[in-house]
């Protein structure tokens, strides 16, 4: 059975906590049936596609878009954000297919 994106991200969060890295999740996918809340979110600047996690690794901001190992697909909005972030100095953005790939990435960047 292939873990869900949620399960993969939760495993990565446990790893980040063990490593004592500064990070946060970006709640772009917060689901609501309320049109009032959707309008409020949009008015406050919520836009689709920003990667799932922001992690500080050494002196860099690292954005990670999590996907499940098989079946994960990057949306057009996500591709646009990742490209824009990678154009910024001291910022790197990645798509990781599974927690293991994300952990290996963090280890490489932290050397």
Instruction: Give the pLDDT confidence of 72-104 residue by residue, as tens digits.
Output: 899 999 999 999 999 999 999 999 999 999 999
Q: Is 101 in contact with 16 (CB distance < 8 Å)?
A: no
pLDDT of 37 strictly over 90: no
Helix (H, G, I), strand (E, B) or coil at 6: helix
CA torsion, ordered 58, 63, 69, 71, to nearest 10 deg: -170
Q: How many whole angstroms separate alpha carbon 15 and alpha carbon 99? A: 9
What does the pLDDT average to over 14-43? 87
pTM to 2 decimal places: 0.90
Domains, the chain, ordered by start: 5-109 (3.40.1350.10)
Q: How many whole angstroms separate alpha carbon 51 and alpha carbon 37? A: 21
Q: Is 51 in contact with 12 (CB distance < 8 Å)?
A: no
Binning pLDDT at 50, 70 and 90, where does residue 29 land?
low
The residue ranking higher by pLDDT, 40 or 105, is 105
Q: Which two tokens stand for residue 91?
A: 């910022």
């Amino acid at each position: 059975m292939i873990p869900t994106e949620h399960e993969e991200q939760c495993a990565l969060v446990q790893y980040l906590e063990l490593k004592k890295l500064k990070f946060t999740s970006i709640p772009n996918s917060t689901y609501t049936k309320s049109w009032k809340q959707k309008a409020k979110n949009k008015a406050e600047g919520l836009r689709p596609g920003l990667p799932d996690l922001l992690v500080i690794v050494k002196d860099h901001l690292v954005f990670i878009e999590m996907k499940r190992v098989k079946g994960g697909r990057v949306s057009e909005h996500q591709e646009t954000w990742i490209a824009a972030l990678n154009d910024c100095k001291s910022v790197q953005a990645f798509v990781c297919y599974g927690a293991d790939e994300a952990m290996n990435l963090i280890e490489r960047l932290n050397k």
